[in-house]
Amino acid sequence: MSGNSSEARLGLAPAGDVAEAMPAATPQGGDLVRRHRLSTRLWHWFNAFTIFIMIMSGLMIFNAHPMLYWGQYGADYDHPWFEINNTKTTGYVKLGNVKFNTTGVLGLSTYPDGSVNDNAFPSWVTLPAEYDLAKARRWHLTFAWLLVLPYVLYMLWSLANRHIWRDLAPERSELRPRHLWQDVVDHARLRFPRGAAALHHNTLQKFAYLGVLFGLIPLMILTGLTMSPGMTASWPWLLWLFHGRASARSLHFIGMSLIVGFIIIHLALVIVVGPFNEIRSMITGNFRLPRERKPSGKAEGAKP
């Protein structure tokens, strides 16, 4: 590596060192810099795998009773607020009193061999693919622990090393309505930070990550525990907190849907910003800073 290269000038540390190893000079667009800690990268990929397994096994569990209720109870003769079902000839999704035809996708689809699948979710998004509630529960509960334990350790570590406060907590200036609106406009126009600014999360990113870490994941854990009769026998306050097991199941499904939405938006933005650079940074920790946009129109500093 030449002494005057961007990598040498920025003082890149070996793989596995902390992302906060500061460069010797202010990074510029086009420089290769260290972006993610090894612990962050490992937790990211482990979580991605774990969450996908839990979503797919959870959808199979939902297939056993594809209806959601509010309140203490939920059974076949109660009135669900949400339902994915079929009439033997058509599949549908029902939200309140509104029904949508979803034949071929939800409620009624086909297996790869062409046979009819009358489950709520098609086989290509469930684990296992064939209807098996017992296996789905084993997958789901096993990976639940693989999600919860690393999550607790990661949160404790991130609070101890101030990662949460340093990298995710919004600054006071970022909470101003004008700044928030500008961030929304920039995202809508697909205008993202460049140069050294790309090393830091923007305000919407911070809100999204904090919402997942402190909102959705705790919600999924607590509602999951509430659906367990063994847990509510030991912790009856869970039933009081969520107003019954049926409500907890509804909130669990809503939380899962929001996580799926977060994943879709996250992957879409990775593709828009640059998948090679983004994925490389999450594998090796190295990130190529996007080059600053060249000023349009008259040269900088020119008089009108």
Domain boundaries, the chain: 6-74+128-288, 75-118
Using a CB cutoff of 8 Å and minimum separation of 24, what contacts does 127-132 make? 127/53, 127/56, 127/57, 127/59, 127/60, 128/60, 131/60, 131/63, 132/60
Task: Look at the domain 6-74+128-288 and name its fold.
Answer: Fumarate Reductase Cytochrome B subunit (1.20.950)
Higher local confidence (pLDDT), 179 or 5: 179
Is the pLDDT at 68 greater than 80, yes or no? yes
SS3 label, residue 95: strand
Question: Tens digits of per-residue pLDDT, 102-132?
Answer: 999 999 999 888 899 999 999 999 999 999 9
Q: Which residues contact 291 (CB under 8 A, 6 or more apart)?
A: 29, 30, 194, 195
What SS3 state is found at 262? helix
Helix (H, G, I), strand (E, B) or coil at 207: helix
Say if residue 196's pLDDT is above 90.
no
What's the pLDDT band for 10 if we cut at 50, 70, 90? very low
pTM reported for the whole predicted model: 0.83
